Structure 1
Amino acid sequence: MKEKILIVEDEFIVANDLKIMLIKAGYQITGIASSVVQARKLMAENKPDWVLLDIMLKGDLTGIDLAWELREISLPFLYISANTNQSTLEAVKETQPYGFMVKPFRERDLIVMLDIAKYRFDIEKGNELVKTIDNDIIEGIIGKSSSLQDVVEKIRVVAPTDTSVLVVGESGTGKEKVAHSVHELSERKAQPIVVVNCAALPHSLIESELFGHEKGSFTGANTMRIGKFEQADGGTVFLDEIGELPLDSQVKLLRVLQEKEIERLGGNKTIKVNVRIVAATNRSLEKEVAEGRFRLDLYYRLNVFPIELPPLRERKEDIELLAHFFLTKYASASRRNITSISAKASDQLHSYHWPGNIRELEHLIERSVLLAKTTEIENFDLPNITEKPSDQPQGQLKSMEEMERDHILNALQNSNGKVSGIGGAAELLKIQPQTLYSKMKKLGIDKGYK
């Protein structure tokens, strides 16, 4: 049965071109809408399977406003837009689309993007079918916080598949550990995982490192060299700091992802490679795309299954488990009888902001084990520790989160529950509707604004 697609696009020529391409590719078009109001009507009448969505539409509401409604009814969608400024991309990301195409685009790119979007949706929809890993603990991933368990669950879901994975998080959050876990829990585990730090490669040598070179291909190429992708054939390539890859190398990486083949530098022979890509970055790739430093088509090729790692300051309930894990590790490695952390030292760990995340904690514990004078670590040498005053009155001041929640509730009451459009809470608060929806979700405010 043909999948049904609704096109929401206010430019007739673009919409008609899309219709022709999609029909040619075997899709059924349920209609073309130029506004959110018209799209709602067509969705109710024709029940599409997918929505292709422009951002700027006729009327007061945008495609992003409609995207939030599509999320609520679990109707998958992807954007097709010429608007790629940073604020728009950030707003788009909050709606969690299954793809984003930049106008103008080739017919082939549209069909490939739809294939990727459908694959991502099938993974989410069929989680129970791909959860083949039953162990409660993934080796080396320590913690019981809900945010970390979300990460563990995503690893379990994606590891048995062959899809690309993008690991996002601040420096020191454990991105490489996640990459190794994805590899070790996959059917490729008997083959190598080859790690490439894109930030450490000189630009002049990147292509040689990744794809190899033939003898005599450049000055100093005295022998033929096998690149990282050939070394990893049958296994996994982990591209750390992918945001550092220059644009010309991004084009060649895109070819590997699309065609599963490479050419050595200076060679004229195409070499098939069977590799899985896991990439990682501490940058906002959406911002890099908006500023022209990262290709949007490559971003969505890599972003088929994103895993976002929380910073340590957002999972402080895991600090004690991590600290004792590292304590045992380094006490054993240094053959020192250090067995515990004092209550005062533990309070220090929980009071600290951890800009360096887990890596900073690990180095601190390693250093403290070596400096400890008894069997217990009594104190940590940390910068700018904020001690909680013991005589501080409790319960008299609301947190910033509580104040923000109250402010949003007041706005919703004044707008009679209307979020977007003229007179809506978003207008009263002078923020974008999609930002307000995101805040409501985060603060646990439901449609009845309770």
Structure 2
Amino acid sequence: MPEKILIVEDEFIVANDLRIILQKAGYRVLGVASSVAQARTLLALERPDWVLLDIILKGPLAGTVLAQELNEAGIPFLYISANTDAVTLEAVKITTPYGFLIKPFRERDLLVMLDIARYRVKVEASNLAPAATTPAPVEDIRSMLGLIGESPALARVMEKIALVAPTATSVLITGESGTGKEKVAQAIHQLSAHHQKPMVTVNCAALPAALIESELFGYEKGAFTGAQQRRVGKFEQADNGTIFLDEIGELSLEAQAKILRVLQEKEIERLGSESPIQIQVRIIAATNRDLEKEVANGKFRLDLYYRLNVFPLPLPPLRERREDIAALAMHFLRRYAHQARKKVNTITEPVLQQLRQYNWPGNVRELEHVIERQVLMTEGTMLTQVELPELHTAGTPAAGRLQTLEEVERQHILHALKTCHGKVFGPGGAAEALHIPATTLYSKMKKLGIKQGYA
């Protein structure tokens, strides 16, 4: 039975194009609504499998209002809009769509976005693990990554790796520098069905703009001056395996467009060749940037973001897993004491407390370097002191350092919650005190790691 789709779009030409594309692809179009009111009427008559939803509609209500109602009814939807400014994206994010297609769009863009959205629904419905696959054992992941610690934040990461690794799903790993994004990518590949095939790593930040195309897609002999022999590009090297696009947020918009085309068409073309090459590659991307902000600022393509972000995997900073710091410090102590042939084997409690109070802007990598340096400087069997910068202690901004906007915003929200005794919405709540919608405050709290009821 064909899937049923409701189109909510107030531009007649766009709506008609959507209807033709969808019917041609085998979907059943239930109707077209140009306003939220009309959409409600059609929804009352028959439940669709999908809703394609514009944001700016006829009448007083925006598409985001209908989106909240669709969420409550359990009906998945995708946005189709020309609006990608920061305010719109913030409102869109709260409604958790399954995709966002930018006008104008190609027929293939729409169908690919629907395929991605359908897969995301399938993954969620099967508790993030397709029935044909078996989640990898968590202990295998712990051993493979050398993960140290028992914090809830770390346990959630390992559970997600275990679920996604056996699938072919694209993964977007996000997190600050030093949180171990490349190690996580390696574990996902090693626990996949294609672990015997290559995993090719591309440091996007190190690719010169002029060489991106030749590095990623290769070239034929004579394609340009100096091309004395054929060269196979990174995507072709990763065929039937995995390509890890590290720091993908550093790519130019032009380079992003080239990668998007590869993901959509599943083919590459060497420079100097007119014959496309079909490839099957699993994509794992990583970034320490906030790609949603980059999209809002026009620095990252929204269509590429949704194409990569099928399975988001955020890695927690070390300051959010302080209970793991002592175990990590002892792990690094043993490693570097052995390498340096030192007898140091203990860390005093005052030093451990000092390590716990530091905010670790460089995360696990910084902790490792600190312990390595201190081991080399220590005589005897006990590490009794550690040299840390005076800045970045827990709860205290650095002396002489301007706080980031996120730090200021977090402290302001915490102060508002404390003043309102932990109440978020309603009369006397923090949202009212801050003069923002409760949905916006909840979104900011989630982003900044503030739990409800924190006061």
TM-score normalized by the length of structure 2: 0.85
What's the CA shift for 1:240?
0.6
C-alpha separation in 1, matches of 2:323 and 2:62: 40
- Partner in structure 2 of residue 291 of structure 1: 297
1:295-314 pair list within 5 angstroms: 295-314=301-320
How many aligned residue pairs are there?
429
Structure 1 counterpart of 2:137, which letter?
A: D
C-alpha separation in 1, matches of 2:234 and 2:394: 49
- Partner in structure 1 of residue 380 of structure 2: 374
The answer to whether residue 138 in structure 2 is matched with residue 135 in structure 1 is: yes
Q: Is the 8 A contact 1:6 1:48 kept in 2?
A: yes
The answer to whether residue 271 in structure 2 is matched with residue 262 in structure 1 is: no
TM-score normalized by the length of structure 1: 0.86
The answer to whether residue 444 in structure 2 is matched with residue 431 in structure 1 is: no
Which of the numbers 236, 239, 252 marks the counterpart of 2:245? 239
| Deviation string, structure 1 residues 11-60 (Cα, Å, up to 9, x no partner) | 34433432332222222233434444554454344222222222223455
- Partner in structure 2 of residue 404 of structure 1: 417
- Partner in structure 1 of residue 81 of structure 2: 81
Structure 2 counterpart of 1:122, which letter?
A: K
* Structure ranking higher on relative contact order (CA contacts 8 Å, 6+ apart): 1
Change (3 A) 1:413 1:279: closer
Q: Is the 8 A contact 1:198 1:239 kept in 2?
A: yes
Q: Is the 8 A contact 1:68 1:434 kept in 2?
A: no
What runs of 5+ residues in structure 1 fail to find an aligned partner? 390-397, 418-424, 446-450
- Partner in structure 2 of residue 420 of structure 1: none
What runs of 5+ residues in structure 2 fail to find an aligned partner? 397-410
The answer to whether residue 57 in structure 2 is matched with residue 57 in structure 1 is: yes
- More off after superposition, 428-437 vs 185-194: 428-437
What's the CA shift for 1:211?
1.5
Which of the numbers 353, 362, 370 marks the counterpart of 2:359? 353
Q: Is the 8 A contact 1:211 1:264 kept in 2?
A: yes
Q: Is the 8 A contact 1:229 1:237 kept in 2?
A: yes
C-alpha separation in 2, matches of 1:64 and 1:317: 40
C-alpha separation in 2, matches of 1:63 and 1:291: 22
Change (3 A) 1:38 1:205: same
- More off after superposition, 209-218 vs 402-411: 402-411
C-alpha separation in 2, matches of 1:29 and 1:145: 48
What's the CA shift for 1:97?
1.9
Change (3 A) 1:410 1:276: closer
Instruction: Quote the sequence identity (%).
Output: 60
- More off after superposition, 109-118 vs 315-324: 315-324
- Partner in structure 2 of residue 344 of structure 1: 350
| Deviation string, structure 1 residues 296-352 (Cα, Å, up to 9, x no partner) | 222222122221112222222222232222222222332322222211111111111
- More off after superposition, 26-35 vs 120-129: 26-35
C-alpha separation in 1, matches of 2:431 and 2:7: 27
- More off after superposition, 102-111 vs 292-301: 292-301
| Deviation string, structure 1 residues 47-79 (Cα, Å, up to 9, x no partner) | 222222222234554333433443344332211
